């Protein structure tokens, strides 16, 4: 037995020392790298050891102790930077130095910090010199390639090469830029000449086609149409023999088949059309009239008309071609095909020198290319970074089973992986390489904790393979349940509570009687959740539909519409489990005059959604001035929705909950039409409305559709018996009690209308309190019945059960 | 799962079903002036919104679409206000045509439209003007005939602009209401294109979102005659309560639906209303029988019957016409009964 105890002790000591060794391994790795590898020039080994040390303990620290109780400063990224320098990996060295700087410890050790600054500057300078050399080399090669392509008449490829050279030139000097500009100008001229040649070829082709058509027209007995065509051909090609002959032939035929009288008529009609601007319609008539050589006016008018027509045709053709090129450019920019877009832009600028849109588009592309080139050349000199929102402190305590770590990971070249470890266990890992060039990634990761000290290591890697790590220490304290004395205490409490419960009930009842406790509400809207009964089905139905439908809730006065709208607002505010984010806004139209309708609506929106200051200043809405119409409202709504979209990645729905909508019945048709037009706007996809009122007047005088066509309608009617019974019994549960007969009497007399039920309950409870009882009996209900039913707002709807009628 | 059906609001994108032929006519057809005629709640607004969305998403289209809601315009100023509001609402249009609102705000509606078209042409686009609630032009015709004439000239200017108007049959009265000195307004917009009910395939695709049984899908298509609003309304209610019989019954007695039929019915010509009443009473009638019941030659009724069938008020099977959907038939029969009862009580009072 004694031996067994000794063995156990020995094993325990051995096992307990193992973690201590693992915990301190980073010290050995770090000191080996610093004092042996770096000193002996074994840079590869230093990188290996320091990377391992950082994995075990990412954060720097000062005043650490070795086994021999000597103090040292743990600055692993600084040492790693030195090792990288030794290997000639300057960009990695700069990134490591910057990572060390970010930890804010090295600044306290003057000698090390000065050394770090010096090494970093040297590395930076050398990298920059190398970058400029590379840039110059690339530039020269691209210029040579462009010249070669130009010589081989491959103009568009040459322009692409020059575009790339231009991006480099912007990072070099003015002379390089001037060289690119001058070459580009030459190429642009060649491109324009080629475009002109293509246009001329198209025109020649059209001429051949027109000649064929003119001949066909002549042969098919339509000399006037043929003559118009021949004239048009001769306008573009005055020496065309075939057209000259055809023209003569057509003229003769016209003269042979028309009379002077007809030609006079043609001239008059042609002149009228010419003067009214219908040039193309005037030409055939003037052509026919001009076949008579004595009609000099016809000839003059015809020439002017032909000139104008040709000019318009050229303009149309030019606009068509320019439009085509612009569309191409937009498509290429949308598809991120910037080189091709740049070629098209150069072509456009050749045709329209100085065009502001094209100039700006080209400048944007050049700027972008230059930036990209600079980024590539300078290389990646930063480690990825982590910024935390929670927890706030590097060491925290909690009694929870998990701790949520929230923050943002960033890297200027794109993130690759985010990993969370608790001790040695990976608790969360996310691959970020899938997303397009993700440079910032927010996280919100729950990390499970075990009792005692937990070390949570967060590690981020960028797409160049660089890693940055940091950690939190969380001391997980035991909860009450986890304490050993918890269960005995629970048992003792249970005994105590049973006894106390009975006396509490009695005390509560006495106190309720003394304070005249009466929780029912009749008249005012029910705002408290505890007093809101029934309507669960309708609420869930509305919630199920409101993302895509606008709804109208109708119902008698005092049926509970306002209470329903209030609870709908609360439900929408908390509705976070779907792809939609609702921003509910309540608007009460009671007493709102027509001329301030849109101002009131915007006022409520502005109050409810807490807009950003810059959005507020952009709005036309001003609280102090109600000179505000539907157009202002629509424009402001667009901005409000844009603001809301910036707050969430979900689909935004601004939900207008408009109560007392009957007020719209009193407004003019025009305001009603304007309200409808709001729902026709594109932004209305982010807008839903729930309106409530007794009823909307459905007489619509104007020709188009009424606004209420957009609304699906629901009627808010009385409660079901179960809902009504719940409303009667629940509010006083645990304090007073209702006799079953009393409940039955209220149900029958109230027609299951919530307002009347509440009135019955208020008066019946008061009657019971007067009698100093704690049970509401049927005699309390009977005693207040006349009072409740005498209320004007309820009397017309109540039918007393037949059994209650006095028998005469 | 949230209720996927939308009853009332306009739809586009994934929520838009069918109409491929009409979309082709508008976007790729040869006519530059189109009047799409459709009964109320047949989906006219949705059609235009879908056209607008498709042109915005397309890289090939030569068109820049501008949705213009005419309702409430009443006169030249109102039309201009509506047009500027449409341009303000359409950022894509403003950017692509490089429109500066301040520069055009004070122009008359025709100058404004011309300026917009010019800007679009300069940027390489044709303008596709999508005018909704075209009946408003009847009010404009009453108040401001010259503006209507000028508007026609701009809208039918030629290849750089394509105009589409949606409206009910009432728009046909426009040329009587506005005696233009030049061509009648609707001249280039005729013949109209009809916005018919959905076909069975389109209705089934829409209802597939609710995961309903085949029997329920057939019943809904049959009872609604595939009228899109009724299909969406019933599907939405059925999705909530899973009780088809109950839903059909509730919708047939719904005040909102009755009001819709009542207003829609008013847009028809008196002769068309009489045809519908006659067919509803007899359930199914051949054209000759309708003619003799109305004491009108059946060939005179031909265009009316064709129009009513195209708009979904009537359907034709085996050479006979019946009412387009069960709900409308129920409503018509109820109206007829009410009128009968009212006449009877009046006669009794006189007696």
Mean pLDDT of chain B: 90
Share of chain A above pLDDT 70, in %: 92
Contact B236 A700 (CB under 8 A): no
Greater model confidence, A373 or A744: A744
Chain B residues near residue A676 by CB distance under 8 angstroms: 71-72
Distance CA B110, CA B87 (A): 14
Greater model confidence, A23 or B60: B60
At residue A349, φ and ψ (nearest 5 deg) are -70, -25
State residue A6's pLDDT score: 42
Could you read off the pLDDT of A149-204 as tens digits, one per residue?
Answer: 998 888 888 988 888 888 888 878 888 888 888 888 888 888 888 888 888 888 88
Q: Which of A276, A322, A677, A683 to mutate to test the interface with B (most CBs of B within 10 A)?
A: A677
A241-257 and A223-236 are packed helices; what angle lies between their axes, rounded to 10 degrees? 150
State residue B12's pLDDT score: 93
From A632's Cα to the closest Cα of chain B, the distance in A is 10
Query: Given B67, B240, B256, which is nearest A713 (Cβ)?
Result: B256
Give the CB-side neighbour count of residue B256, counting CA atoms within 13 A: 25
* DSSP string over A664-691: GGGS-HHHHHHHHHHHHSGGGGGEEEEE
Query: Given A578, A681, A704, which is nearest B89 (Cβ)?
Result: A681
Whether the per-residue pLDDT at A641 is higher than 90: the answer is: yes
Contacts of A534 (CB under 8 A, 6+ apart): A560, A719, A720, A723, A724, A726, A727, A754
Distance CA B281, CA B284 (A): 8
Q: Is-above-0.80 flag for pTM?
A: no
**Domain definitions of chain A by residue range:** 385-476, 535-715, 721-804
Q: Is residue A774 within 8 Å of A507, Cβ to Cβ? A: no
What mean pLDDT is predicted for residues B44-64?
93
Whether the per-residue pLDDT at A510 is higher than 70: the answer is: yes
Pairing verdict, β A651-659 and A687-693: parallel
Whether the per-residue pLDDT at A606 is higher than 80: the answer is: yes
Q: What tokens appear for A46 in the block?
A: 């230093």
State residue A18's pLDDT score: 38
Asked if B58 is an interface residue toward chain A (Cβ–Cβ < 8 A), one would say: no
Could you read off the pLDDT of A62-90 as tens digits, one per residue?
Answer: 888 877 778 889 999 999 999 999 999 99
DSSP code of residue A804: G
ipTM of the complex: 0.84
Confidence of residue A13 (pLDDT cuts 50, 70, 90): very low
Asked if B82 is an interface residue toward chain A (Cβ–Cβ < 8 A), one would say: yes
- Using DSSP, state whether A283 is helix, strand or coil: helix
Q: What tokens appear for B69 in the block?
A: 């809601």
State residue A479's pLDDT score: 77
The answer to whether the Cα torsion of A295, A301, A304, A307 is positive or negative is negative
Confidence of residue B175 (pLDDT cuts 50, 70, 90): confident
Query: Given A578, A676, A684, which is nearest B71 (Cβ)?
Result: A676
**Domain definitions of chain B by residue range:** 19-194, 268-351
What mean pLDDT is predicted for residues B318-344?
87
CATH level 2 (architecture), domain A385-476: Sandwich (2.60)
State residue A360's pLDDT score: 86
Q: Which of A316, A580, A635, A704 to mutate to test the interface with B (most CBs of B within 10 A)?
A: A704
Contact B124 A319 (CB under 8 A): yes
Q: Of A466, A447, A470, A446, whose CA–CA distance to A458 is shortest?
A: A470
Q: Which of A618, A637, A680, A684 to mutate to test the interface with B (most CBs of B within 10 A)?
A: A680
Q: Is residue B324 within 8 Å of B315, Cβ to Cβ? A: yes
Question: Is the fold of A385-476 the same as that of A535-715?
Answer: no
Chain A residues near residue B10 by CB distance under 8 angstroms: 680
What mean pLDDT is predicted for residues A292-304?
85
Q: Which superfamily is assigned to B19-194 in CATH?
A: P-loop containing nucleotide triphosphate hydrolases (3.40.50.300)
Q: Which of A539, A631, A705 to mutate to test the interface with B (most CBs of B within 10 A)?
A: A705
Query: Given A325, A638, A705, which is nearest B133 (Cβ)?
Result: A705
Q: Of A518, A770, A720, whose CA–CA distance to A779 is shortest?
A: A770
Whether the per-residue pLDDT at B299 is higher than 90: the answer is: no
State residue A591's pLDDT score: 87
Confidence of residue B174 (pLDDT cuts 50, 70, 90): confident
* Helix ranges (DSSP H) in A466-485: none
Contact B40 A705 (CB under 8 A): yes
State residue A1's pLDDT score: 43
Asked if B121 is an interface residue toward chain A (Cβ–Cβ < 8 A), one would say: yes
What mean pLDDT is predicted for residues B233-245?
92
Measured in residues, chain A has a length of 808
Confidence of residue B46 (pLDDT cuts 50, 70, 90): very high
Whether the per-residue pLDDT at B116 is higher than 90: the answer is: yes
Whether the per-residue pLDDT at B295 is higher than 90: the answer is: no
State residue A38's pLDDT score: 93
From B257's Cα to the closest Cα of chain A, the distance in A is 10
Could you read off the pLDDT of A337-375 as tens digits, one per residue?
Answer: 887 888 888 888 877 888 888 888 888 888 877 777 776
Written out in words, the top-level CATH class of the domain with range B268-351 is mainly alpha
Chain B residues near residue A334 by CB distance under 8 angstroms: 59
Distance CA B113, CA B84 (A): 9
Q: What tokens appear for A39 in the block?
A: 């000193």
Query: Given A631, A704, A712, which is nearest B7 (Cβ)?
Result: A712
Q: Which of B69, B195, B256, B260 to mutate to test the interface with A (most CBs of A within 10 A)?
A: B256
Burial of A212 (0-12, 13-18, 19+ CB in 10 A): exposed
Q: How many whole angstroms from its chain centre is CA B140?
A: 19
State residue A698's pLDDT score: 67
Measured CA distances, B211 to B35, B201, B207, B245 (Å): 36, 15, 7, 17
Could you read off the pLDDT of B151-160 as tens digits, one per residue?
Answer: 998 998 878 9
Tokens 């001009």 belong to A290
Contact B133 A712 (CB under 8 A): no
Whether the per-residue pLDDT at A23 is higher than 70: the answer is: no
Greater model confidence, A3 or A264: A264
In CATH, the number for domain A721-804 is 1.10.8.60
Share of chain A above pLDDT 90, in %: 19
- β-strand partners of B161: B127
3-state secondary structure A702-721: CCCCCHHHHEEEEECCCCCH
Chain B residues near residue A327 by CB distance under 8 angstroms: 62, 124-125
Q: Is residue B146 within 8 Å of B110, Cβ to Cβ? A: no
* DSSP string over A143-209: HHHHHHHHHTT-HHHHHHHHHHHHHHHTTS-HHHHHHHHHHHHHHHHHHHHHHHHHHHHHHHHHHHH
Could you read off the pLDDT of A194-251 as tens digits, one per residue?
Answer: 888 888 888 888 888 888 988 888 888 888 888 888 888 888 788 888 889 988 888 8
Could you read off the pLDDT of A650-706 as tens digits, one per residue?
Answer: 899 999 999 988 888 888 888 888 888 888 888 888 999 999 988 777 666 666 667
Whether the per-residue pLDDT at B237 is higher than 50: the answer is: yes
Return the residue of A nearest to B53 by Cα.
A682
Cis check for the bond before B191: say yes or no (omega within 30 of 0).
yes
- Output the CA angle A508-A513-A518, nearest 5 degrees: 95
Whether the per-residue pLDDT at A313 is higher than 50: the answer is: yes
Mean pLDDT of chain A: 83
Q: What tokens appear for A732 in the block?
A: 């006083």
Helices (H) and strands (E) counted in chain A, each on its own, are 25, 17
Confidence of residue A521 (pLDDT cuts 50, 70, 90): confident
Contact B240 A578 (CB under 8 A): no
Burial of B100 (0-12, 13-18, 19+ CB in 10 A): exposed
Q: What tokens appear for A683 in the block?
A: 């932004």
Whether the per-residue pLDDT at A794 is higher than 60: the answer is: no
What mean pLDDT is predicted for residues A292-315?
85
State residue B180's pLDDT score: 57
Chain A residues near residue B139 by CB distance under 8 angstroms: 702-703
State residue B183's pLDDT score: 64
Burial of A473 (0-12, 13-18, 19+ CB in 10 A): middle
State residue B178's pLDDT score: 64
State residue B179's pLDDT score: 64
Chain A residues near residue B6 by CB distance under 8 angstroms: 548-549
In CATH, the number for domain A535-715 is 3.40.50.300
């Amino acid at each position: 037995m004694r031996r067994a105890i000794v063995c156990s002790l020995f094993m325990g000591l051995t096992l307990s020392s193992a973690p201590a060794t693992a915990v301190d391994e980073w010290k050995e790795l770090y000191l080996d790298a610093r004092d042996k590898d770096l000193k002996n020039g074994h840079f590869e080994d230093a990188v290996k050891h320091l990377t391992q040390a950082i994995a075990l303990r990412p954060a720097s620290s000062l005043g650490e102790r070795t086994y021999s109780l000597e103090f040292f400063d743990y600055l692993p990224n600084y040492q790693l930077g030195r090792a990288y320098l030794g290997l000639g990996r300057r960009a990695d060295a700069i990134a490591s130095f910057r990572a060390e700087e970010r930890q804010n410890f090295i600044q306290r050790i003057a000698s090390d910090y000065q050394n770090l600054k010096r090494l970093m500057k040297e590395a930076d300078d050398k990298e920059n010199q190398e970058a400029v050399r590379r840039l110059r080399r690339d530039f020269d090669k691209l210029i040579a390639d462009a010249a070669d392509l130009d010589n081989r008449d491959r103009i568009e490829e040459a322009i692409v090469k020059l575009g790339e050279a231009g991006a480099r030139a912007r990072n070099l000097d003015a002379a390089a830029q001037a060289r690119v500009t001058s070459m580009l100008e030459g190429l642009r001229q060649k491109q324009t000449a080629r475009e002109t040649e293509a246009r001329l070829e198209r025109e020649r082709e059209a001429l051949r086609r027109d000649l064929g058509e003119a001949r066909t027209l002549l042969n098919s007995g339509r000399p006037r149409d043929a003559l118009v065509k021949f004239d048009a051909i001769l306008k573009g090609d005055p020496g065309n023999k075939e057209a000259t002959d055809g023209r003569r032939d057509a003229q003769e035929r016209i003269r042979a088949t028309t009379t002077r009288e007809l030609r006079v008529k043609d001239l008059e009609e042609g002149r009228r059309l010419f003067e009214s601007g219908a040039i193309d319609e005037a030409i055939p008539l003037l052509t026919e009239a001009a076949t008579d050589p004595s009609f000099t006016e016809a000839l003059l008018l015809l020439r002017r008309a032909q000139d104008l027509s040709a000019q318009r045709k050229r303009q149309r053709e030019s606009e068509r071609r320019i439009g085509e090129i612009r569309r191409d450019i937009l498509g290429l920019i949308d598809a991120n095909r910037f080189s091709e877009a740049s070629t098209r832009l150069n072509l456009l600028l050749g045709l329209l020198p100085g065009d502001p849109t094209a100039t700006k588009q080209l400048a944007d592309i050049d700027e972008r290319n230059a930036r990209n080139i600079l980024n590539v050349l300078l290389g990646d000199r930063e480690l990825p970074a982590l910024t935390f929102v929670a927890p706030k402190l590097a060491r925290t305590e909690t009694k929870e089973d998990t701790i949520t770590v929230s923050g943002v990971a960033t890297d200027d070249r794109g993130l690759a992986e985010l990993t969370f470890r608790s001790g040695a266990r990976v608790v969360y890992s996310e691959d970020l390489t899938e997303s397009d060039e993700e440079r910032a990634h927010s996280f919100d990761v729950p990390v499970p904790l075990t009792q005692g000290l937990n070390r949570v290591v967060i590690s981020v890697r960028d797409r160049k393979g660089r890693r940055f790590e940091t950690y939190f220490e969380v001391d997980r304290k035991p909860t009450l349940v986890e304490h050993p004395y918890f269960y005995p205490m629970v048992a003792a409490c249970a005994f105590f509570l049973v006894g106390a419960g009975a006396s509490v009930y009695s005390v509560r009842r006495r106190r309720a009687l003394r304070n005249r406790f009466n929780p029912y509400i009749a008249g005012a809207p029910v705002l408290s959740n505890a007093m809101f009964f029934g309507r669960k089905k309708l609420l869930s139905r509305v919630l199920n539909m409101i993302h895509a439908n606008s709804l109208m809730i109708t119902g008698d006065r005092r049926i509970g519409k306002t209470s329903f709208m209030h609870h709908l607002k609360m439900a929408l505010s908390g509705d976070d489990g779907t792809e939609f984010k609702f921003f509910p806004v309540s608007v009460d139209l009671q007493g709102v005059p027509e001329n301030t309708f849109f101002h009131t609506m915007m006022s409520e929106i502005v109050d409810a959604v807490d807009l950003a200051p810059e959005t507020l200043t952009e709005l036309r809405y001003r609280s102090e001035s109600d000179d505000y119409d539907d157009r202002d409202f629509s424009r402001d709504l667009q901005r409000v929705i844009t603001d809301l979209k910036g707050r969430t990645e979900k689909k935004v729905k601004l939900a207008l909950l408009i109560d007392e909508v009957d007020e719209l019945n009193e407004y003019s048709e025009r305001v009603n039409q304007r309200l409808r037009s709001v729902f026709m706007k594109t932004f209305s996809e982010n807008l839903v409305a729930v309106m409530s009122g007794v009823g909307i007047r459905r007489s619509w005088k104007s020709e188009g559709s009424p606004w209420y066509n957009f609304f699906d309608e629901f009627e808010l009617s009385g409660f079901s018996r179960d809902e009504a019974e719940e409303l009667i019994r629940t509010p006083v549960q645990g304090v007073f009690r209702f006799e079953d007969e009393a409940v039955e009497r209220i149900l029958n007399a109230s027609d299951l209308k919530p307002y009347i039920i509440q009135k019955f309950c208020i008066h019946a409870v008061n009657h019971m309190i007067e009698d100093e009882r704690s049970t509401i009996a049927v005699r309390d209900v009977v005693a207040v019945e006349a009072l409740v039913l005498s209320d004007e707002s309820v009397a017309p709807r109540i039918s007393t059960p037949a059994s209650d009628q006095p028998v005469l | 799962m949230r209720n996927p059906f939308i009853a009332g609001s306009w739809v586009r994108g994934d929520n838009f079903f069918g109409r491929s032929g009409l979309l082709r006519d508008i976007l790729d057809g040869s006519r530059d002036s189109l009047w799409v005629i459709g009964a109320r709640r047949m989906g006219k607004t949705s059609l235009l919104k879908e056209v607008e969305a498709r042109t915005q998403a397309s890289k090939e289209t030569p068109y820049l679409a501008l949705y213009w809601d005419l309702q409430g315009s009443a006169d030249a100023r109102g039309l201009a206000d509506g047009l500027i509001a449409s341009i303000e609402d359409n950022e894509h249009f403003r950017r692509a045509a490089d429109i500066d609102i301040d520069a055009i705000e004070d122009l008359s509606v025709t100058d404004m439209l011309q300026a917009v078209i010019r800007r679009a042409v300069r940027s390489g686009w044709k303008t596709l003007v999508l005018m909704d609630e075209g009946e408003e032009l009847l009010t404009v015709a009453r108040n401001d005939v010259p503006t209507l004439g000028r508007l026609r000239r701009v809208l039918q200017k030629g290849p750089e602009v394509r105009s589409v108007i949606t409206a009910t049959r009432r728009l046909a009265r426009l040329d009587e209401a506005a005696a233009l000195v030049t061509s009648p307004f609707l001249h280039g917009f005729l013949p109209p294109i009809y916005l018919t009910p959905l076909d069975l395939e389109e209705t089934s695709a829409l209802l597939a979102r609710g995961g309903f049984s085949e029997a329920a899908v057939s019943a809904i298509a049959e009872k609604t005659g595939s009228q899109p609003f009724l299909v969406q309304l019933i599907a939405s209610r059925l999705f909530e309560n899973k009780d088809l019989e109950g839903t059909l019954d509730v919708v047939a007695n719904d005040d909102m639906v009755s009001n819709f039929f009542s207003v829609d019915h008013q847009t028809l010509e008196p002769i068309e209303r009489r045809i519908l009443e006659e067919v509803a009473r007899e359930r199914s009638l051949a054209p000759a029988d309708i003619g003799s019941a109305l004491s009108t030659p059946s060939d005179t009724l031909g265009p009316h019957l064709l129009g009513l069938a195209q708009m979904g008020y009537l359907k034709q099977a085996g050479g006979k016409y019946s009412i387009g959907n069960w709900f409308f038939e129920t409503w018509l029969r109820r109206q007829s009964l009410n009128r009968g009862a009212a006449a009877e009580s009046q006669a009794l009072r006189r007696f």
